Amino acid sequence: MSTILEVKNLTKIYEAGFVRKRRIVAVDNVSFDVKEGEVISLVGESGSGKTTTAKMILRLLPPTSGVIKFNGKDIWRAIRSKEELKMYWRNVHAVFQDPYASYNPVYTIDRVLNQALELIGIDPSSNEGRKLIREALSYVGLVPEDVLGKYPHQLSGGQRQRIMIARCWLLKPKLIIADEPVSMIDASMRGAIIKLFIDLREDYRTSTIFITHDMGLAYYVSDRIFVMYKGKIVDMGPPDELLKNPKHEYTKRLLESVPTLYRKWTWE
Ligand SMILES: Nc1ncnc2c1ncn2[C@@H]1O[C@H](COP(=O)(O)OP(=O)(O)OP(=O)(O)O)[C@@H](O)[C@H]1O
Ligand SMILES: [Mg+2]
């Protein structure tokens, strides 16, 4: 399997405070990689540096030091123009905790999906465009009449998440970065949404970075888990190996909650 993303010695230091500057080492010498078609999880408690890591990979926040390579290219050096950045965001796509925050509230759902079509060079008003939108909605289990013509606030949290995944289906990114993608959704709906991510991987060999504080979820969906603690990766491995042989005390504590959570994530 080829490596799609390589993160090497990534560090982010924030300067905070006005009067007396404080340095916060949010991400501390982090290295990991993601293979084609692989699902990895970054698991860690609040403030452990997960979102900061995601933002640097998404090229939204410059690292203090370290290298991020996508398909062998250093993204902070190789991407120079707006066009290249647009192309990068087509390949590396973010799904956030509450997609409501990432929707423009005055755009209808049609417009959100049409934009995705435009990005891949398809006219939304063409027959092909309309067919693709129907297919995308059906892929994520939505009925067009339930969502088209509506504004984001008129949808449920689960429906908004599904639209985000429908966008992914249209854009077919190589890598999805899903930051707490189901934490705002009703427990009963979570399994179905997670399954959509897994389907994307099965159907299109999409790689995914799941970001969560929920070890049960990470255990269930990941090929490999990376445990973050205070900005560092303190443990890593395939879920069962990690369960058998956790190195860090923090990992042990997280894993204690897995047996019950494991049942929670069963959707069949
Ligand atoms: N813009 C910023 N300026 C200063 N400090 C920041 C900034 N953003 C994040 N931090 C700090 O960096 C650390 C890591 O934050 P980050 O958001 O990456 O954590 P996280 O693992 O995503 O947490 P959560 O699970 O709560 O989302 C925290 O101590 C946070 O307070
Ligand atoms: Mg976060």
- Residue 112 in any domain: the answer is no
pLDDT of 62 higher than 90: yes
Indicate the range of 57-66, 180-189, 210-219, 239-248 predicted with least confidence.
Answer: 180-189
Mutate which of 11, 14, 18, 232 for ligand 1? The one with the most ligand atoms within 8 Å of its CB, which is 14
More confident of the two residues 69 and 20:
69
Q: 71: number of CA atoms within 13 Å, CB side?
A: 10
> Pick from 118, 54, 47: which is nearest to 86 by CA?
118
- Residue-number span of the structural domain to which 90 is assigned: 3-96+174-264
Residue 241 is assigned to a structural domain of this protein: yes
Report the CATH number at residue 13: 3.40.50.300
- Does some domain include residue 117? no
- Count the Cβ atoms, other than its own, within 10 Å of residue 91: 14
For residue 198, being part of any structural domain is answered with yes
* Rounded average pLDDT over 188-205: 85
Write the single-letter amino acid at 197.
Answer: F
- Rounded to the nearest angstrom, the distance between the alpha carbon of 149 and the centre of ligand 1 is 36
172 CA to centre of ligand 2 in angstroms:
24
109 found inside a domain: no
- How does the average pLDDT of the chain come out, rounded? 89
Q: Please report where in the chains the tokens 């423009």 appear, as a residue.
A: 104
Domain assignment present for residue 53? The answer is yes
| Residue 174: per-residue pLDDT | 95
What is the per-residue pLDDT across 142-151, written as a single tens digit (0 to 9) for each? 999 999 999 9
Across the range 34-52, mean pLDDT stands at: 95
Nearest CA to ligand 1 atom 8: 52
Q: Which residues line ligand 1 (CB under 6 A)?
A: 14, 16, 24, 26, 44, 46-52, 213
Query: Which ligand 1 atom sits nearest the alpha carbon of residue 48?
Result: 21
Q: What's the structural domain count of the chain?
A: 1
Interval 7-12 mean pLDDT: 98
Give the DSSP per-residue string, 171-230: H--SEEEEESTTTTS-HHHHHHHHHHHHHHHHHH--EEEEEES-HHHHHHH-SEEEEEET
Q: What is the pLDDT of residue 268?
A: 39
Of all residues in the chain, the percent with pLDDT exceeding 90 is 62
In a domain, 66, yes or no: yes
Candidate from 28, 52, 213, 232 with most ligand 1 atoms within 8 A of CB, to mutate:
52
Atom index in ligand 1 nearest the CA of residue 97 equals 27
Name every residue whose Cβ is closer than 8 Å to that of residue 241 and which is 6 or more positions away in sequence. Answer: none
Closest CA to 152 of 99, 194, 93, 95: 99
In this model, does residue 84 exceed pLDDT 60? yes
- Indicate whether 34 pLDDT > 70: yes
What's the CA-to-centroid distance between 40 and ligand 1, angstroms? 20
The pLDDT value recorded for residue 101 is: 60
Report, as an integer, the average pLDDT of 62-88: 95
> Is 262 a residue whose pLDDT tops 60?
no
Question: Quick one: DSSP state of residue 235?
Answer: E
142 found inside a domain: no
Q: With 0.95 as the threshold, say if the pTM is over it.
A: no
